Chain A
Amino acid sequence: MTTASAETVVRPARARTAAATATVRRGQGFQHGGWFVAPFLLLFALFVIWPLLRGLWLSFTDANISGDAAHFVGLDNYREALDDPLMWEALGHSAWFTLLVVPCITVLALLLAMLAHHIERGKWLWRLCFFLPFLLPSTVAANLWQWLFNPGTGMVNHVLGLETAWLTDKSYAMLAVVVCTLWWTVGFSFLLYLAALQGIPAHLYEAAKLDGAGAWHRMLHITLPMLRSITGLVVALQILASLQVFDQAVVMQDFGPGPEESTRTFVQYTLEQGFTSYRVGYASAISIIFFVLIAAVALARMWLLRNREEGGR
């Protein structure tokens, strides 16, 4: 029980410098924390790190699905992928989807959060309503909207008095997926904003009121700046999630690529290559390309934020 005795030694030694304390803590680090994170690390290594390395290796081979020995083909898969118009199209669809969803969901989540925050009566009901769709499985949400968008019998056309073929017209098919996604996932960002709103100290608003600031100014100069970091988080999470769009697009189009292949997303294309065409090597290569792209987006955002923070100090 050396650790326990070390603890008792450390505790009364308040007078020591912080640096010294840190050294002592670092010395004991793994003995304590290591065992706590070990299960996670093990699973992470098994289900994330290992498949990633395995996929990286496969991307340099002509592996198929049958388990036969694969052959090393160098950069062939990558060369082919960069020349593959279908891959670029699919990437374009995922990017377009992301461009549509991220701003909409951010604004919508903020508006709903403000609404729920300011409402006095039946607050719980509003929160529940906005958050509930998020609890549905994607297939349920997608099927629901498939019905709603049905041109002949769907509620959307009925309410709007239109005859739009939402799911079978190239111009609207991706829009339909976006609408479904907004309704289905806005609850998560809404909750983040709501928590952040509740964290803004009331005395700021009181002081502003005393200075004669109206509601609009209070929102502009207190609420929005105080929410800046949470907005960064919402945008970042949404970008990463939206780029990986797959299930709702696929279910709404009955597992096809949509009208004139307009809703085939990047993940869907990877799946088709791997599990319809049995080209595991090639599917791995485009997955790695996608991984690099997403990682680049995430790193770029971190770098931008770091610069902003440093500039702000």
Chain B
Amino acid sequence: MGRPGLDRRQLLAALGGLTVAGSFGFAALGTGADALASGADTRVRYWNLFSGGDGYNMIAMLDAFRKDNPGIDVKDSTLQWGSPFYTKLAMAAAGNRAPDLGVMHLGRVTGFSPGRLLDPWDVDLLAKYGVREQDFNPALWKRAVIDGKLYALPLDIHVQLCFYRRDVLKKAGLLDADGRMVPVTSADEWFDVLKEAKGATGKGLQTIGLWVNDQNFQWWFFVAFYTQLGGTWFSADNTEVTFDTDKATQVLEFLRRHVTEGYADPGFAGGAGAEQFVNGGPFVWEGNWSVPVFDSAKLDYGATPLPPVFGRQATHAESHAFVLPHQADRGGAADEGAHRLAAYVVQHARQWAAGGHIPAYTPTLSTAAYRELKPQSEYVSAMDHQATEPKVWFAGSTGILAQRVGPIVVSSTLGSAKPDVVARRMKSTLTQLLASKNPMDGRTAAEGGAVA
């Protein structure tokens, strides 16, 4: 193995100076001058991916922190969500120009070279600022632990929900005494509900929007229902694919049925599903981030976790988590400030819940203020039955797994391939991915051993 000894600069130069310059531009934001101007002693540089309503809520929480901690100057930069964000974060960490604090999707942490591009949290320091392991859902906390160290501090979980219009369901006689959607325990029951709802739906509207053409959403729904069936992905040591094609076929047939029975119209795929819902369509499956959208549209609506059509509760969940991008000389006041800031935001996430997300810090969930939030209180139970992607390096929001398998799921839902064929195709893709090496460290999932 020759080692050409690529040094950082040359590599980055080869990767296209502009991207790099862009990300360094962000990194360079807020050099000494404005820290001096603000009169603060410590500056914490914080990168996040929150825009829209989430961005607004995050800024409100940061402002509250600034008021309570005048000695710390928070320099926040918002970058575009998705792959570009992770690329910039990786390059900044690689180039040792990383911010003091960052945000990631929890599922992406395993593949992000924890220990190389991410530094572990100091749990004692977090405890000092009031955040301890027992304040979190154990499964969620465990996902953030890699090789025995905590690499991510969960801020929330965000889940896929079944939104429903109370006014339409009421007409169809599908509301219980509390004004919530009648419970559903099987696929047939679910389609009965859709049938009733369809009868009460106005002309030109589809019964349910479920992003039939979207690789991310279809994959998330698949993960949810496959988990309801008790399906697994890989063996515990990540040496074998344990993906069950029969169960997968069941799930794919279930998703496809929405289209074949005329409840979901491929013409209203994608974002049009939410528009239809606002215009009077009875159902839409969306991420909980749609809560503020439907609130501002003044709809009379409710939201439950995806229906347990295969007999047990499970809905897809991902999580926004705070991370410490790698710095060669991590430590000192800025690092302590990052711990303090993250702990503060995690504990003051009531504001964050307004964006529909479920705060990860469980004491928040039992407060009277949170329990009064509608429809949040209706789906808070999702915290206890999260369906998540497997904990391997190629998983996580908009990661390789979703990119490879998502389109295959879509091909079944849209009917261009048969569910059983698609299930086998999924399995062979999973087999390929399991055997492939993580480009970050040259190890396969089995060799990576990124287990708690």
Interfacial residues, chain A to chain B (CB-CB below 8 A): 47, 50-51, 54-55, 57-58, 61-72, 150-152, 163, 165, 167-170, 254-257, 259-261, 272, 274-282, 284
Asked if B411 and A67 make an inter-chain contact with CB atoms under 8 angstroms apart, the answer reads no
A260 near B6 with CB under 8 A, answer no
21 A/B residue pairs, CB under 8 Å, sorted by A: A47-B17, A61-B6, A67-B7, A67-B12, A68-B116, A68-B440, A69-B5, A69-B6, A70-B6, A70-B11, A71-B1, A72-B1, A163-B267, A165-B269, A168-B213, A257-B403, A275-B83, A277-B400, A278-B440, A279-B439, A280-B15
Q: Smallest distance from the beta carbon of B108 to chain A beta carbons, Å?
A: 11
> Which one, B86-94, B247-255, B329-337, is touching chain A?
B86-94
For B10, give its contact among A54, A254, A256 (CB under 8 Å): A54
The residue that B267 contacts in the complex, of A55, A66, A151, with Cβ under 8 A, is A151
Give the 3 A-B residue pairs with the shortest CB-CB distance, closest first.
A67-B94, A54-B14, A64-B439
User: Does B16 count as interface, using CB distance less than 8 angstroms?
Assistant: yes
Closest Cβ of chain A to B407, distance in Å, is 5
- With A66-B90, A72-B2 as known contacts, state yes or no: A50 contacts B439, CB within 8 Å: no
Q: Does B11 lie within 8 Å of A260, measured CB to CB?
A: no
* Cα A49 to Cα B300 with chains together (Å): 61
User: Within the assembled complex, what's the spacing in Å between the Cα atoms of A220 and B147?
Assistant: 76
User: Which B residues are CB-close (under 8 A) to A167?
Assistant: 270
The contact string, 1 if C-beta is below 8 Å from chain A, for chain B 1-45, is 111111110111111110000000000000000000000000000
- Of chain A, the residue at the smallest CB distance from B80 is A255
Q: Does B113 touch A at the CB level, under 8 Å?
A: yes
| Residues of A close to B12: CB separation below 8 A | 67
Compute how far the CA of A54 lies from the CA of B4 in the bound complex, rounded to whole angstroms: 12
Q: Which residues of B contact A168 (CB under 8 A)?
A: 212-213, 266-267, 269-270
Contact residues in A for B216 (Cβ distance below 8 Å): 256
- Nearest-neighbor residue (CB-CB) of A163 within chain B: B267
* CB atoms of A64 and B267 under 8 A apart: no
Asked if residues B82 and A255 are in contact (CB atoms below 8 Å), the reply is: yes
Give chain B residues whose Cβ lies under 8 Å from the Cβ of A255: 82-83
By a CB distance below 8 angstroms, the chain A residues around B4 are 57, 61, 69-72
The verdict on A276 contacting B83 (CB below 8 Å), with A65-B15, A259-B213 known, is yes
Closest Cβ–Cβ distance, residue A198 to chain B (whole Å): 38
Contact A63 B6 (CB under 8 A): yes
Q: How far is the CB of A223 from chain B (nearest CB, A)?
A: 43
* Chain A residues in 8 Å Cβ range of B94: 65-68
Report B329 CB to chain A, min CB distance, Å: 17
Interface residues of B (CB under 8 A from A): 1-8, 10-17, 82-84, 86-87, 90-91, 93-95, 113, 116-117, 212-216, 266-270, 272, 275, 398-400, 403, 407, 410-411, 414, 416, 439-440, 442
A68 CB contacts on chain B under 8 angstroms: 94, 116, 440
Q: Which residues of B contact A69 (CB under 8 A)?
A: 3-6
**A272 to B84 CA separation, bound complex (whole angstroms):** 10
Contact B13 A62 (CB under 8 A): no
Closest Cβ of chain A to B284, distance in Å, is: 15
- Residues of A near B83 (CB, < 8 A) are 255, 272, 275-276
A-side contacts of B266, CB under 8 Å: 165, 168-169
By the criterion CB–CB under 8 Å, are A51 and B16 in contact? yes
Distance between A278 CB and nearest chain B CB, rounded to angstroms: 5
Option from B93, B212, B398, B416 in Cβ contact (under 8 Å) with A66: B93
Q: If A70-B6, A72-B1, A274-B15 touch, does A64 touch B403 (CB 8 Å cutoff)?
A: no
- Asked whether A65 lies within 8 Å of B90 as measured between CB atoms, the reply is yes
Contacting pair B87 A275 (CB below 8 A) = yes
- Asked if residues B116 and A55 are in contact (CB atoms below 8 Å), the reply is no
How many Å lie between the Cα of A11 and that of B84 in the bound state?
60
Bound-complex Cα distance A284 to B13 (A): 13
Closest to A284 in B: B14
Instruction: List B contacts of A151 (CB < 8 A).
Output: 267-268, 272
> Within the assembled complex, what's the spacing in Å between the Cα atoms of A67 and B15?
10
Report the separation of the CA atoms of residues A170 and B400 in the bound assembly, to the nearest whole angstrom: 22
Write the chain A residue with the least CB distance to B17.
A47
Q: Separation in Å of the A77 CB from the closest CB of chain B?
A: 11
Contact B272 A260, beta carbon cutoff 8 Å? no
Docked Cα-Cα span, A72 to B216, in Å, equals 35
A58 to chain B: closest residue by CB: B14
Report the minimal beta-carbon distance from A42 to chain B, rounded to whole angstroms.
15
- Chain A residues with CB under 8 Å of B1's CB are 71-72
Nearest CB in chain A: distance from B428 CB, A: 12
Given contacts A69-B3, A169-B266, contact A260 B407 (CB under 8 A): yes
Choose among B7, B268, B399 the residue that contacts A276 (Cβ–Cβ < 8 A): B399
Quote the shortest CB–CB distance from A253 to chain B (angstroms).
10
A51 touches B272 (CB 8 A): no
Cβ-neighbour of A272 out of B90, B116, B212, B403 (below 8 A): B403
Known: A58-B14, A278-B90. A64 touches B407 (CB 8 A): no
Sample of 10 further A-B pairs with CB below 8 A, known A65-B440, A152-B275, A275-B84? A50-B13, A51-B16, A57-B4, A61-B6, A65-B87, A67-B91, A67-B94, A255-B82, A260-B411, A276-B398
Question: How far is the CB of B144 from the nearest CB of chain A, in Å?
Answer: 21
> What residues of chain B lie closer than 8 Å to A282, measured between beta carbons?
439
User: By the criterion CB–CB under 8 Å, are A259 and B410 in contact?
Assistant: yes
Q: Which of B16, B95, B212 has the largest count of A CB atoms less than 10 A from its CB? A: B16
Quote the shortest CB–CB distance from A240 to chain B (angstroms). 20
A256 with B3: CB separation less than 8 A: no
Please give, as numbers and ranges, the residues of chain A lying within 8 Å of B93 by CB-CB distance: 66
Judging by beta carbons under 8 Å apart, are B10 and A276 in contact?
A: no
Partner pick for B13 among A51, A66, A150, CB 8 A cutoff? A51
Closest to A61 in B: B4
Tell me the minimal C-beta distance from A27 to chain B in angstroms. 38
- Which A residues touch B440, using CB under 8 A? 64-66, 68, 278
**Complex-state Cα separation, A57 to B214, whole angstroms:** 37
State the CA gap A168–B415 with chains docked (Å): 13
**Which residues from A are CB-within-8-Å of B5?**
69
Contact B272 A150 (CB under 8 A): yes
Chain B positions within 8 Å of A67 at CB level:
6-8, 11-12, 91, 94-95
Distance in Å: Cβ of B92 to nearest Cβ of chain A:
11
Closest residue of chain A to B402 (Cβ to Cβ) is: A276
Contact of B116 among A66, A257, A260 (CB under 8 A): A66
Q: How far is the CB of B184 from chain A (nearest CB, A)?
A: 28
Inter-chain contacts of A63 with B (CB < 8 A)? 6, 11
